[in-house]
Amino acid sequence: MTSTRIDMSFNRVARLQDAGDLAELFFPGNRNQQHCFLAIWFSLKWAPRGLVPNLNEVAERHGVSRRTLERVRAKMRRLGLIDHVSRFDKAYGYREGWTRSSRFVRGLAQLAEKATMFADRKNRNREKDEFSLRMWAARRDTSSRGAATESLKNPARTRSPHPHQ
* 141 or 164, greater pLDDT: 141
Q: What is the 3-state secondary structure (H, E, C) of 15-36?
A: CCCCHHHHHHHHCCCCHHHHHH
Per-residue pLDDT, averaged over 56-75, amounts to 96
Number of residues that this document lists for the chain: 165
Same domain, 73 and 99: yes
Is 74 in the same domain as 132?
no
CA 97 vs CA 23, 26, 101: distances in Å = 22, 22, 12
Whether residue 46 is predicted with pLDDT greater than 60 in this model: the reply is yes
Task: Please provide residue 24's backbone torsions phi and psi, each rounded to the nearest 5 degrees.
Answer: -65, -30
Give the mean pLDDT of 46-63. 93
**For 14, left (φ over 0), alpha (ψ -120 to 50), or beta?**
alpha
Residues 141 and 91 in one domain: no
Domain of residue 142, residue span:
124-154
Q: Record the pTM.
A: 0.74
Give the pLDDT of residue 87.
76
- DSSP-derived 3-state class of residue 52: strand
* Number of domains forming the structure of the chain: 2
Predicted confidence band of residue 165 (pLDDT cuts 50, 70, 90): very low
For a pLDDT cut of 90, what percent of the chain falls above it?
A: 53
